[in-house]
A and B are shown apart, each in its own frame.
Chain A
Amino acid sequence: MSGVAFGAAAVSSGLSVWQTCALSLLAFTGASQFALAGVVAAGGSLLAGTLGAILLGSRNTLYGLRLADVLRPRGARRLLTALGVIDETTAVSLAQPDLRSARTAFTATFCAIYVTWNLATLAGAVGAGRIGSPQSFGLDVVGPAAFLALIWPRLRVGRTERLVALAGVAIALGATPLLPVGVPVILAATAALGGALASQTTTQQPDVQHEPCPAAPEAAS
């Protein structure tokens, strides 16, 4: 994702250059950053915006799960490694044929993206600050367009994904007149709940974790 686009969009939304850079340095996860900037732009509830941004970060938890066995970071190193767990580093790392190259790939990708993302954010933020009217440059469309680009590949995966997206849209738009600004978006996460529960019931397979263990042979005698 383009750091310049984020830097520009964030400053246009009302965040200061420092706040914008802080997001890229500390949060370092594109969708969440764009989401918070979007809520600030709309003048919505910062609490709701923060929660929504954090919720969006939950996919990085999944990435961490898959990377844990590959990277096996120990002690203090784990604290630093965690910062780099994002879409790109995960994808590159998991694509490697063996553990050693996976770790090298992770570190290299992390460093490269971290530097470019933050420099780009700074450039975009400082540049946008000089623009009089962000709307005349269409900067208010950058956030939505970025989100669309992010979910596009996932919408092609299956029907559940498309239905969940539609349900999310319906819930958020329906709740807009009723709830504080920013909250409808969080409510849309319930669409994901529906999708997750629905896929459980259609498989009709026993939940392996709850199968009782076979009685030990010693107990029978």
Chain B
Amino acid sequence: MTGAWIAVLATAAGCYGLKLAGLTVPQRVLASPRVRRFAELVPIALLAALVAVQTVTSGHAFNLDPARLAGLSAAVVALLLRAPFLVVIVAAAGTAAALRAAGIA
């Protein structure tokens, strides 16, 4: 599992480096509105992609797991109802677990 350790430490180093860069680099360099906008939008694109990939794909193929889809739908409902973060997570996990336990998915 050394590969995983390298990934963990590299991720930690990279994330820390980015935090330090914001505090250290002169405002001028990163203050360009275009760069700022890009940095604001990157998490949105990445997170949306992650949700999609983790929900409907498995490796290189598309894999519609009903329990997973139901869990994510429950999350959407919870978010629409402005539920707190923990409720959203529990609703999602609980729904998926319940469907699997009932043998439906």
Contact = CB atoms under 8 A, between A and B. Distances in A.
Interface residues of B, dominant DSSP: helix
Interface string A166-188: 11110111001100010011101
A138 B95 contact: yes
Contacts, number: 304
Contacts of B89: 2, 5, 142, 145-146, 149
B1 A78 contact: no
B11 A136 contact: no
Interface in A174-209: 176-177, 181, 184-186, 188-193, 195-197, 199-200, 209
Interface residues of B, number: 78
B15 A168 contact: no
Interface in A133-177: 135-152, 154-155, 160-161, 164-169, 171-173, 176-177
A78 B23 contact: yes
A196 B41 contact: yes
Interface string A39-80: 011110011011011111111111111011101010000110
Contacts of A184: 49, 53
A191 B10 CA distance: 25
Interface residues of A, number: 102
B68 A140 contact: yes
Nearest to A169: B52
Given A49-B7, A173-B56, A165 B44 contact: yes
13 contacts: A28-B15, A36-B11, A65-B31, A141-B75, A141-B93, A145-B88, A145-B92, A147-B48, A148-B51, A149-B75, A172-B53, A191-B45, A195-B41
